[in-house]
Structure 1
Amino acid sequence: MTSPGLERLLPALPPGKSWLAVGHGESGDSVYRRSDNAAFAKLSDRSAVALAGERRRLEWLSGLGFGSPEPLDWFESGAGACLVTSAVPGVSANELDGRQLLQAWPSLVARLGALHALAAADCPFERRLSSMLSRAADVVARGAVNPDFLSDEQRKREPADLLAALEAERDRRLVQERQDLVVCHGDACMPNFMVDPDTLDCTGLIDLGRLGTADRYVDLALMVANAGESWAGPDQAETAFRLLFEGLGLDQPDRERLDFYLRLDPLTWG
Structure 2
Amino acid sequence: MSSRPANSEVPTGTLRVPGIVTALAGGAAITPVWRNELGGLTFRLDDATGGSRYVKWIAAGTPEIDLPGEAERLAWAQQWARVPPVLDQGANAEGTWLVTAAVPGRPAVDSRWKAEPAPAAAAIGRGLRLLHDALPVDRCPFDWSIERRLLRADERIADGEGPADWAPEHRHLQLTEARALLDNPPAIDRLVVCHGDACTPNTLLHDDGTFAAHVDLGSLGVADRWADLAVATWSLEWDYGPGSDGVLYDAYGVDPDPERITYYRLLYDLA
| Normalised TM-score (structure 2) | 0.81
Displacement of 1:35: 3.2
Question: Of residues 49, 60, 70 in structure 1, which corresponds to 2:76?
Answer: 60
SS at match of 1:213: strand
Partner of 1:209: 218
Equivalence map 1:165-204=2 (5 Å)? 165-167=181-183, 169-170=184-185, 173=186, 176-177=187-188, 179-197=189-207, 199-204=208-213
Displacement of 1:154: 2.1
In 2 relative to 1, CA 99–22 (structure 1 residues): closer, same or farther, beyond 3 Å?
closer
Kindly indicate whether the alpha-carbon contact (under 8 Å) linking 2:122 and 2:248 is maintained by their aligned counterparts in 1.
yes
Letter in 2 for 1:22: V
Aligned equivalents of 2:72, 2:58: Cα separation in 1: 16
Letter in 1 for 2:52: A
Give % identity: 29
Displacement of 1:90: 2.3
Partner of 1:100: 116
Kindly indicate whether the alpha-carbon contact (under 8 Å) linking 1:93 and 1:192 is maintained by their aligned counterparts in 2.
yes
Q: Which runs of 5+ in 2 are unaligned?
A: 1-13
Q: Which runs of 5+ in 1 are unaligned?
A: none
Displacement of 1:260: 0.7
Partner of 1:114: 130
SS at match of 1:107: helix
Kindly indicate whether the alpha-carbon contact (under 8 Å) linking 1:55 and 1:83 is maintained by their aligned counterparts in 2.
yes
* Higher helix residue share: 1
Q: Note the aligned Cα RMSD (angstroms).
A: 2.6
Aligned equivalents of 2:179, 2:190: Cα separation in 1: 23
SS at match of 2:238: coil
Aligned equivalents of 1:232, 1:155: Cα separation in 2: 20
Kindly indicate whether the alpha-carbon contact (under 8 Å) linking 1:88 and 1:206 is maintained by their aligned counterparts in 2.
no
Kindly indicate whether the alpha-carbon contact (under 8 Å) linking 1:41 and 1:83 is maintained by their aligned counterparts in 2.
yes
SS at match of 2:167: coil
Question: Of residues 161, 185, 189 in structure 1, which corresponds to 2:177?
Answer: 161
Displacement of 1:100: 1.8
1:42 aligns with 2:53: no
Letter in 2 for 1:88: V
Aligned residue pairs total: 251
Partner of 1:261: 264
Displacement of 1:30: 1.9
Letter in 2 for 1:133: L
SS at match of 2:109: helix
Show CA shifts across 1:63-86 (max 9, x none).
Answer: 32x221111112222332111111
Letter in 1 for 2:203: F
1:80 aligns with 2:90: no
1:90 aligns with 2:105: yes
Question: Of residues 25, 28, 32 in structure 2, which corresponds to 1:13?
Answer: 25
Displacement of 1:43: 1.2
Aligned equivalents of 1:232, 1:77: Cα separation in 2: 40
Letter in 2 for 1:31: T
| Normalised TM-score (structure 1) | 0.82
Partner of 2:4: none
Aligned equivalents of 1:76, 1:92: Cα separation in 2: 27
Displacement of 1:99: 5.5
Displacement of 1:97: 4.5
Displacement of 1:192: 0.6
In 2 relative to 1, CA 84–232 (structure 1 residues): closer, same or farther, beyond 3 Å?
closer
Partner of 1:143: 160
